[in-house]
Amino acid sequence: MFEAGIKAVGIVDVEFGEDVTVIQPANLYGCRIGDHCFVGPFVEIQKNVVIGRHCTIQSHSFICELVEIGDDCVVAHGVMFINDAYRGGAPARGDLSLWERTRLGNRVFVGSNSTILPVTICDDVVIGAGSVVTSDVMEPGTYAGNPARKIRSIA
């Protein structure tokens, strides 16, 4: 018979800046969260994640390993970050060398229920709700769709 390995949700080995608010339940471990951030309930932030200053991470979002988020960013409700792009046609299955990094610049807003694959997103970008970002975003603007495409410039 298989015995389940049940682990508790919690906050373990997190480096917090000043004036950070976390609403529980939350599962945060081995990450760094900058000054004046807010983390909503039912959020998971995994190890080796770095979140800048003045960021908001709304409820039900998942930020996997190897994600870096700049300053003044918003990750809205239900956003999923992915670090395994199935490059070999299958999941990495524990081979961490196959995982890839994601970097969000400063002043990036990611709309609810978006999915962010391993990409780089420059400063001053809005990702529309429900979008799937599959490639790097190198120009400021608003992006939406699946796959996300630029729909307007930010003046």
Residues serving a catalytic function are 77
Contact between residue 66 and residue 50 where contact means Cβ atoms under 8 Å apart:
no
Measured CA to CA, the distance from residue 64 to residue 17 in angstroms comes to 20
CB atoms within 10 A of CB 45: 29
DSSP string, 4-33: P------EES-EE-SS-EEPSSEEEES-EE
Whether the CA torsion 79, 80, 81, 85 is positive or negative: it is negative
